[in-house]
Structure 1
Amino acid sequence: MPAYEGVWKKMCFQGSASERCQYVVAKEVYLTTPRDFVEIVTALGGTSMDNFMLDLADDYEDRVVDTSTEVANSGLILNALFRGCLPCTVDGQHVPLRSTVGSVKYDLSSSSVSDGVFTAICSAVVELPTGTLLKSLEFYSVCRDRWKWLVYALCCGSSVFRLENLDLIGTSLTRADVVAMGEVLKIRYPVVSSEQRRLRVPQYGFVSIEEGTELSSTRLAEDDIMVLRSASAFRCRARYCPIGSAHWADVIVPGYGICRTRIEDGASSFDPDSLAFGHRIDRGFYIRSLNLHIGKIELNTLVLDLLGFIGAGLRKLSMIIDESDPNEVYDQQNRTDLDLGRLAAVCPGLEALELTYFDVVVLPTHDGALLTWPIKKNWY
């Protein structure tokens, strides 16, 4: 972020308690940059502002693991600026947090980030404080495991925050993705275990982390050593397998993604779910507007399953299937009509609809939903 570092510092240090910035924009922030990151984030956290936009970028080149610098920086910036607290710090790191004055409207985008940074963002979003206004959330290249994390972030938290607009660009959607998302809503954990043997089925619940507890990030390579230490006591969603890993649990730490911690008396304790979550827990959270750009889809009607997970409160919906790339394989035999009646049943409050490269049909199975649909504007 060298090109923007000076701009950040100028905006941060010129402000004062009596001077409120209308907009603060942090564009193309590279988490791999160690220089002055703590100083900049600390200054931004103390800046009085009305609107804050953060654009995370990366040159990860499809690598599987992240660096310790990325793990530390993602946790720092997402927690300090969007949550106002730090659950963990890197040993030796001191970050004096100062809450922003008044309420802030947030925009968060990630143009090209690794899977690890994507999970870090989702782990922070699911724990946003109640009352937070997220004006816009933008993700690129959502596919496979990213769908599970996205559904977890939007549907499995306990707080109630507002998301006005969700942009999903260059997505890929398959039947397997939809099945996995449904499983995430049942277990309320973003990683679905492939281990089905009875004695190895993991338990889900919460881990109570005590202050000073050590955690290790699963985003790092085995030889990349970085110690995360809890800055205070907190509780987080967890997966625990007493047979095979009796002394360890995988926990979701806001801004850091999945970390491992020891389960032992007097330190971290595991509390299993008291009931089986066989249905979605309504957190009172809705997205107002969704822009869905599909690069590849196995079956057109899968978008209705996706909307069934995240689109109940939509007022505006725009969906496009990008068929401009001749290298993309699109199975014409799987191309089916999109039933507007079923769409009306899934998104009953929709007022504006735009569909591009979808074949639309009206079937008699959901006539009632169409009659009460408050649609005011549509483009096919």
Structure 2
Amino acid sequence: MKRTGDQIGGSVMFASAPFVFTSLSPRQAPLETGWAFLEPWRETLCSALAPSKGPFYTGAPNGVSATFKLYPSKYKEPQFRVSDCTLCVEFPADQASRQDGARLQRLREAIEIFDRLSAVNNAVFVTLLAKAMEPDQRACQMPVWPTWKCTLSEPLAPDDSAAIKSCVTWAELLGCPADPWEYSPEFRDVMEKLQTRGVMHTGIRHNKVVTASCVSLYLEDSPNGNKADFAQGGSFMSSLVSGRSTCRSNVGAPELERKARLEHLAVVYETVHSFRNGAILSAFADASSIDRLTLVKAANDKHDACLEPLHWGWLAYALWGRTSTVSIPTLRLSPMDLTEELVSAVEAALQTNYPQPQRGSASLYGFVDILEGTELRPCRRSSLALVLSRDCRCRAYYDPSSMGSQANVVVPGYGICQVELEEGTIEFVSDEASTDITMQEATGSGGVRSLIVDFWRLEDDALVTRLLRLIGRNLKSLALDFSETSDDVEVDLSEVAVACPMLKELRLEGCNASISTHNEALRNWGIKKLEIYESRAVDGLETLLSDQSYRTARGLVELAFSAPPDSMNEHFFGFSYHGMPAEDNRLPREYVSALMAHRGELVIKEKFPVRPKLAMLSPPIPL
């Protein structure tokens, strides 16, 4: 779907005139008779609302839906807490209803009216749509802001134009391609009434216009799906992550293209399925235009690990591999179970530059240049034929002694596939035999700039810095949270300095910190912001802050530190706690003094802009 940000029916979804979003008091009185003019619109909307089944409910058999968060979730001023409410609107899929333009336009306008109502009088909004909400939302004492999830009520007919075309807009998919840009007179009359009702004096003016950033996609994929599901899932993932589909399939999956930039992509695992999740993670080897990536395991308890070592091999290859050019500014992993097996999997993947290393000589790894139109078959899905939609150089593994004329190649969005080698056209070139200087000297220019990890289990403290040595070379920001681990964790800052030499911001939570050796990397470490929370000890930090031979002592801009409540010292921050702990749990007095000695020091808040600096240094131009 090329025009991902198209609004339903081509409408801008809201009039552009600014109005006041209200700061509402707790749940107000029952519905007043003065709101009866909304009843026809309520009936139209409720006829299409599906029962709420949680925020990940799509209501569409194909698992794809468009979500509109029309009420802004970010404010310029502090606001009190609000509750989110997901309302699933099912658009008809049968031919007769999809051709009823007047009915579809009225449904679209009803969505806009009730979204505006949620801001004008939230209590009336909740009362009118109570049956479509969860019980806790109906009884909530906070404002309830709606999220509209638009789906199809059932699969489209095979001959429907939206099911046949390879590129459709959201308007075509939901049956509103011919809707007029103008609103109906009835709609304008209702909006004028809402404009004059219930406006409070505390709020923020905002032009309520939907943009592409307000549209989100949700794909639900089952590891037990058939080959059509796999083909469509691979096409969707490669298009979503890299901007275009890598392959065509023989099951009619459409070719997709994404042109908008992804602000945030979240992948939530409910089960850890090695084959399917490996295919998903392979898409990131060709990622483009993603600002923030989150990988989350929907774990029920701490014994349910985030990602298995096999999947970390895929991540290492895609994001930190020797030939990777992918750049994702921010990556978050939660929760994480750090083990020796996991770190070894990362080491093996980076050493071979292959996501699933096999035993054998380095000569078994290389590349295969595959031409557009070449047929591929996913491993373990040999009945599914994929056709490469563009020329592609694929990372490959080939053992002539056991694989005959077939090589395994990494295809973004589909995982490892098999390709038939042909002399003179499709050939395997091993790393040792390659004459490509670019490939021989590649060191991985891509990667992640900001890494956030939430740990649940840690097999050994030393594994933290060992993992960072493998993936932390280009990191600018690092946040590690150990507060959910059961044991005391110690992070060696001198080892972190070696592993992450370009680091500017470091946040540690729920661990102790130490400095084992004052090495050259530590002296040259250019940390600007250092935060250590819930720490019982930070050995050696006072030297790092006071000795001017350390770059950190000269350039640190922001320092934050806190100890756990049960180890806080009465001298820290100048106040005492009731029920102070034993003396051996307190922060050393000399350490607190070293920290407090820096209070009030002048620091460089931000660098002087380059353009004014150039203007000051440039010679004057004669008139």
TM-score (norm 1): 0.75
The letter of the residue matching 1:273 is D
Aligned with residue 367 of structure 2, among 193, 206, 211: 206
RMSD: 3.8
Q: After TM superposition, give the deviation of residue 88 of structure 1 in Å.
A: 1.5
Out of 414, 417, 421, the residue aligned to residue 263 of structure 1 is 421
Residue identity matched to 2:344: V
SS at match of 1:43: coil
Q: 8 Å contact 1:54–1:109 — kept in the other structure?
A: no
Aligned to 2:579: none
Quote how far apart the aligned CAs of 1:124 are.
1.8
What is residue 319 of structure 1 aligned with on the other side? 480
Q: Secondary structure at the match of 2:245?
A: coil
Asked if 2 retains the 8 angstrom alpha-carbon contact of 1:45 and 1:97, the reply is no
Higher relative contact order, chain-length normalized (CA < 8 Å, sep 6+): 1
Between 269-278 and 162-171, report the one with greater CA deviation: 269-278
Percentage identity across paired residues of the two chains = 25
Q: Cα distance, 1:164 vs. partner?
A: 1.8
Shift in Å at residue 56 of structure 1?
A: 4.5
Q: Deviations over 1:203-237 (max 9, x none)?
A: 111122234332221254x7xx3222223432211
Contact 2:239–2:246, Cα closer than 8 Å, also in 1: no
Map Cα deviations across residues 290-347 of structure 1 (whole Å, 9 max, x no partner).
11011222112212122222222323222123546xxxxx6x6xx6631111112222
Q: 1:298 to 1:117 in 2, by over 3 A?
A: same
Higher strand share: 1
* CA distance in structure 1 between the aligned counterparts of 2:286 and 2:216, rounded to whole angstroms: 18
Quick one: distance in 1 between partners of 2:501 and 2:411? 35
Match of 1:247 in 2: 405
Gap runs ≥5 in structure 2: 13-54, 65-154, 157-161, 173-210, 297-305, 534-623
Q: What is the letter of the counterpart of residue 134 of structure 1? A: I
Report how far residue 87 of structure 1 moved.
Answer: 2.7
What is the 5 A alignment of 1:208-287?
Answer: 208-220=369-381, 225-265=383-423, 268-274=426-432, 281-287=442-448
The yes-or-no answer on 1:293 pairing with 2:454 is yes
Q: Which is further off, 163-172 or 284-293?
A: 284-293
Query: What SS does the corresponding residue of 1:243 show, helix, strand or coil?
Result: helix
> What does 1:44-59 align with in structure 2 at a 5 Å threshold?
49=212, 53-58=216-221
Q: Which has the higher mean CA deviation after the structures are superposed, 172-181 or 264-273?
A: 264-273
Structure 1 gaps, min length 5: 1-7, 17-25, 325-329
* Aligned equivalent of 1:22: none
Q: How far, CA to CA, are the matches of 1:279 and 1:336 in structure 2? A: 39
Q: Which has the higher helix share?
A: 2
Which residue pairs with 1:372 in the alignment?
525
Q: How far apart, in 1, do the equivalents of 2:528 and 2:294 lie?
A: 25
CA distance in 1, matches of 2:428, 2:455: 40
Query: Separation in 2 of the partners of 1:237 and 1:254?
Result: 10
Counterpart CA distance in 1 for 2:398 and 2:425 is: 15
Structure 1 stretch 272-281 or stretch 283-292: which is displaced more?
272-281
Secondary structure at the counterpart of residue 308 of structure 1: helix
Q: Does 1:142 align with 2:307?
A: yes
Bigger drift between 36-45 and 88-97 goes to 36-45
1:104 aligns with 2:261: yes
Residue 20 (structure 1) aligns with: none
Moved more, 157-166 or 276-285: 276-285
Give yes or no for the alignment of 1:352 onto 2:517: no
Contact 2:336–2:456 under 8 Å retained in 1: yes
Helix, strand or coil: the match of 1:363? coil
Aligned residues: 340
Distance 1:286 1:263, change over 3 A: closer
In the alignment, which residue of structure 1 is the partner of 2:336?
171
Letter in structure 1 aligned against 2:292: S
Q: SS in structure 1 opposite 2:416?
A: strand
Question: How far apart are the structure 1 equivalents of 2:467 and 2:170?
Answer: 35
Give the distance between the partners of 1:82 and 1:211, measured in 2 at CA: 20
Relative distance call for 1:240 and 1:343 in structure 2 (3 A) is same
Q: Do structure 1's residue 81 and structure 2's residue 240 form an aligned pair?
A: yes
Q: Is the partner of 2:446 in helix, strand or coil?
A: coil
Shift of 1:363: 1.5
State the secondary structure of the residue aligned to 2:354: coil
Mapped pair 1:93 → 2:93: no
- Mapped to 2, the partners of 1:149 and 1:88 lie a distance apart of 20
Q: CA deviation at 1:148?
A: 0.6
Aligned partners of 2:406 and 2:171: how far apart in 1?
Answer: 37
Distance 1:275-1:93 versus aligned 2 partners, 3 A rule: same
Letter in 2 for 1:349: M
2:357 corresponds to: 192
Name the CA shift for 1:44/1:143 in 2 (closer, same or farther; >3 Å): farther
Summarize the Cα distance change of 1:73–1:98 in structure 2 as closer, same or farther, 3 Å threshold. Answer: closer
**Corresponding residue of 2:40:** none
CA offset at residue 153 of structure 1? 0.8
Distance 1:45 1:82 in 2: 19
